[in-house]
A and B are shown apart, each in its own frame.
Chain A
Amino acid sequence: MAPSRLRLAGLALPAVLVFLGFFVVPFGIFLHVGGQGAHGWAGYALALGDARHLQSLLATFILSVLVTLATLIVGGICGLFLGRHEFPGQGLLVSILTLPLAFPGVVVGFMIIMLGGRQGLVTQLSLALHGGRIVFAYSVWGLFLGYLYFSIPRVVLTMLAAARGLDAALEEAARSLGAKPFEIFRDITLPALRPALVSAAALTFATSMGAFGTAFTLATRVTVLPMMIYTDFTLTTDLSSVAALSLLLGLVSWAALFLARSLTGAGVAASG
């Protein structure tokens, strides 16, 4: 009883129209308008060769890579630990760790201000303890911690699911054959977790590259690429660099997720 092709096409039509009208066509127009600036289509090449843009791209890339590595370690440990042990309060810890999943980037930025801003907790504690004033929220460390904050839930969720799928019998067998804990981790656990690690890494990297709200709230001196694009958009009428960098950003984020999906299977990002 397969529904006819026509009926299926009809059912999918509204989604297709939304996709075309609010995504494909707008990006087409955006691309076109970007080529109508003072330098015409050459504006794209100029924008991508601009030293300021390249510096921002590099800084964003390095930040995203470092955040990804840090979150894989921290989130990986949390996910494995919570996925492989049962104890009272475990559900609560999972809830806390995955809660920021749908926090907007601005709220994440504010959480970092709550910790290390001018009236932040760490700042007040440091003032009370030794009279020094530690304000890190607006430095590159604040940015790093903010990105870590919104990345942890994504990695924990992925690793939690992977940890629950691990075959305990394999590790038991290795142990009975005399393998040391580190050897078991390296030769059994890690390879089994590889797909999850790859997909979590891509998710974190793509979200970090495109994150805007967190950097916007923290207003750090390091200009991440989305902030650079936004500032250019508000300051200039020539859209060539805005379009060029937006498309580049879109391409990089999508490519990371696509690569992970073709290597492993799943993975969808959300705002940061």
Chain B
Amino acid sequence: MKPYKFGFWLQAAVTLASCLFIAVPMAYSVLSGLMRNAFLGLRGGLTFQWVEQVLSLYWPTILLSIEIALLCLVATALIGIPAAYALARAPGRLARLAEEALILPVAVPGLATGLALVVAYDGWGDFRQSIWFILAGHVLFTLPFMVRAVLAVMASADLQTLEEGAASLGAGFARRFLGVVLPNCKNGILAGALSVVTLSMGEFNLTWILHTPLTKTLPVALADAYASMRLEIGSAYTLIFFIMTVPLLLALQRATKPRAGEKP
């Protein structure tokens, strides 16, 4: 394989350039949020004033996003894990069709789904203006990720044999589900949960259409800040968003890392 040829270095250069393309704006945005004056750059000195200002201006949106993400996690777990089990154990065409239908809310752009929801629930004043309306949209959009993550693990674990063993020892369905099925798809649930929370916290396209002035999530207010606030405020707000989501994304990368040699 050695010595390394021209092609190797070209590939390495493209890879490195792509990494810079992704990372440099992130780094510059983080710095701008901490600089006294972004145009002066580091010469102007560093400050926490913008971060503090963002926290005092936008604290409710940060709380709301965390609240919705956690509610979304609970809802998708309660709804999605049983659904994944049903898909794993129901053989045949109906299950494949259901799986196909399940992906629809992710395949169709959030903007279109948001408009359909707003038009359909137009007359439902209280629900329309509550956080439950946004939660409904987020559950719809993140549910497929929970179901697919859990289903993938269930498909590789031999549930049937495990359950037969438990049943032969006299375990009823509830006992088997809680004591055998759930522990065996722990990793799938973890990966699904991380996806759901990260996606919910970052969801914009759908939420922008669904939100009202009283139900602004972080990404929605972030768009406002980009449009109407000075660059340093937008950057500081983005920094807070990174602090909230990047650790989750890194944990997700860990949880779903394909092991070497594993077929896709």
Contact = CB atoms under 8 A, between A and B. Distances in A.
A114 B111 contact: no
Interface in A85-137: 93-107, 109-115, 117, 119, 121, 124
B83 A12 contact: yes
Contacts of A18: 79, 136, 139-140, 143
A77 B18 CA distance: 10
Given A19-B101, A196-B264, A271-B202, A93 B109 contact: no
A123 B101 CA distance: 46
A161 interface: yes
B108 A270 contact: no
B160 to A, nearest CB: 7
B105 A212 contact: no
B4 to A, nearest CB: 10
A270 B130 CA distance: 25
B125 interface: no
A83 to B, nearest CB: 9
Interface string B161-175: 001100100000100
How would you classify the secondary structure of chain B's contact residues: helix, strand, loop or mixed?
Answer: helix
Most buried by B among A112, A162, A212: A212
A141 B117 CA distance: 33
A78 B17 CA distance: 10
A233 interface: yes
Interface residues of B, number: 99
Interface stretch (B54-62, B185-193, B255-263): B255-263
Interface in A214-272: 216-217, 226, 229-230, 233, 239, 242-243, 246-247, 249-250, 253-254, 257-258, 266, 268-272
Interface of B: 5, 7, 11-12, 14-16, 18-19, 21-26, 28-29, 32, 38-39, 41, 78-80, 82-83, 85-87, 89-90, 98, 100-113, 115-117, 119-121, 136-137, 139-140, 143-145, 147-148, 160, 163-164, 167, 173, 195, 198-199, 202-206, 208-209, 219, 222-223, 226-227, 231, 234-235, 238, 241, 245-246, 248-250, 252-253, 258, 260-264
Interface of A: 1-3, 5, 7-9, 11-12, 14-16, 18-19, 21-23, 25-27, 29-30, 33, 74-75, 77-78, 80-82, 93-107, 109-115, 117, 119, 121, 124, 148-149, 152-153, 158, 160-162, 164-165, 181, 196, 206, 209-213, 216-217, 226, 229-230, 233, 239, 242-243, 246-247, 249-250, 253-254, 257-258, 266, 268-272
